[in-house]
Amino acid sequence: MTIRVGIGYDLHRLEGGGDHLMLGGVRVPFDGGAVAHSDGDVVIHALIDAMLGAAGLGNIGQRFPDSDPNLRGVDSMALLERTIRLLHSSGFTVVNADMVVVLERPRLAPHLDAMRQRIAECLKIERHRVSVKPKTNEGVGPEGRGEAVSAQAVVLVQQQ
């Protein structure tokens, strides 16, 4: 058995005019939205990059380029489902996933259980193997000023 670790990162600008953010596959009420080619779910994008990296399968930009018009507005959970199928077909399974999402508002505590559940179901692992942690940037940088949302992910995969 071989184990590997992958890390992922994503950031999207925020702007007014929307009514929600997609984070961890969950619709979070918000008076703005992420500027993105897809639904802008930074948690899932970071997770996908971590998974692909751990398995040596490239990155999200190679697999799902923003130049592909068929991916405009795509649900990031659909991309995660495609990624997990790709991992499984390459002989890998996810052992656990740990993510951090950085933004000042909205508060994410009420949505964390739903995020963990959605991600665990998609990865086909137990919920206790998925962690999503919200952090603020204490008013510093684009996340702290409310100009952006970012996420980081670490994933452990095993190959049998």
DSSP 87-148: HHHTTEEEEEEEEEEE-SSS--GGGHHHHHHHHHHHHTS-GGGEEEEEE--TT-HHHHTTSE
What average pLDDT score do residues 95-116 get? 97
Query: Does 1 score more than 80 pLDDT?
Result: no
Average pLDDT, the chain: 96
Residue located via tokens 């952090």: 135
Query: What is the pLDDT, as a whole number, of residue 13?
Result: 97
Q: Angle, nearest 10°, between helix axes 76-89 and 112-123?
A: 40
Instruction: Locate the domains of the chain by residue range.
Output: 2-159
Q: What is the pLDDT of residues 38-61, one digit of tens each?
A: 999 999 999 999 999 999 999 999
Largest CA distance in the chain: 49
Half-sphere exposure at residue 53, Cβ-oriented, CA atoms within 13 angstroms: 17
CATH domain 2-159 topology:
60s Ribosomal Protein L30; Chain: A; (3.30.1330)
* C-alpha radius of gyration, the chain, whole number: 15
What is the DSSP-derived secondary structure letter of residue 70?
G
Q: What is the pLDDT of residues 127-158, one digit of tens each?
A: 999 999 999 999 999 999 999 999 999 999 99
